Amino acid sequence: MGLLDDLEEKQEETRKEVKEIRREDYGVRLFSRGGTERRIKPLGELTFEINVKNVGLKEDTIEVFFRARVESIEGDVLSEWTVEPVENEEIVFSQENDMYKAEIPLNPGDSEFFSISIRAKGDLKYGERCTVLITATSKKNPLKSDALTLTVAAVQAILAIKTQIGYEKNVADEVENRARRSNIGILSILSPVTLRGYIFVEVMNPERLREVVRGIRRARGMVEGELALEDIEHYLAPKISVSGMVEGDIVELIGGPFKGEKARIKQIDEAKETVTVELFEATVPIPVTVKGEDVRVIQKEKEE
């Protein structure tokens, strides 16, 4: 037997293997554009686009079912979730109790899309989760099916409350007190020292927060729209207490045993956030080291 005979025999074996590996007569696949996991904010709405494909060799009708379940790590679910198909002229779903069903005729290799809308409102809790289970089954061969699980987690909204200038902390304290009494789903309250006239609130129930704010003195109402974390990140980053200070600056001590005294900065330690100063009123100019947060610059060195 020559080399050519060996080559022909191997090619024949390969053709036999390829012939055996072929698609089934019936089959179905489910896909979700944009992934299967999302997050939703209070009063939010999102849509999943689902693709149903006939991966078999023959014409088929695919039965699609989906139903939703809502769970909370904190116990009972008091919020309102709406999970339903988006109206579609090509695919019509019928509903029986909490189950939606549709039949989709498909030629081999063809696919159809449908969308599922999910909305959340009411007494949402952080960590609350809605799971949607979708199944697709061949009517010609019920053993051929596919399943897909969608997961939507509830997350907080960041809102701004407008206040009378100078009363930001008062409003924040009152919001906290009322939140403790009525459990309106507030996760945190931020009143930046450098921001006047506004405070920020992380909340799971914006409508109940709005009701609470209406009854607070010095509160001027809620700002419309939600904020992204990026909008307030610079208020969350700790500011170095000695930032902007230079040797030679004249400062007033606003904390510690020398409160009210004036002094000149002689040395700055950024790592420890301390400054060494010489008190003006001291009989003997002895260097004193204090925290950066305990001094306030009243005259810059370059202004002398």
In sequence order, what DSSP letters do the residues of 85-116 get, joined into one string? Answer: EPP-SS---EEETTEEEEEEEE-TT-EEEEEE
Quick one: 157-236 is in which CATH superfamily? Answer: NusG, N-terminal domain (3.30.70.940)
CATH 2.40.50.100 given to domain 24-154: no
Q: Is pTM beyond 0.85 here?
A: no
- Helix residue ranges, H only, the chain: 3-20, 168-182, 206-214, 229-236
**Would you tell me which CATH number, out of the four given (3.50.50.60, 3.30.70.120, 2.30.30.30, 3.60.20.10), belongs to the domain 250-303?**
2.30.30.30
Domain boundaries along the sequence of the chain? 24-154, 157-236, 250-303
Contact 186, 214 (CB under 8 A): no
pLDDT per residue as tens digits for the range 87-138: 988 899 999 988 999 999 999 999 999 999 999 887 888 878 999 999 999 9
Give 171-228 pLDDT, tens digit per residue: 999 999 888 887 777 889 999 888 899 999 999 888 888 888 988 989 999 998 888 8
Residue 100's nearest CA partner among 130, 143, 136 is 136
Measured CA to CA, the distance from residue 76 to residue 70 in angstroms comes to 10
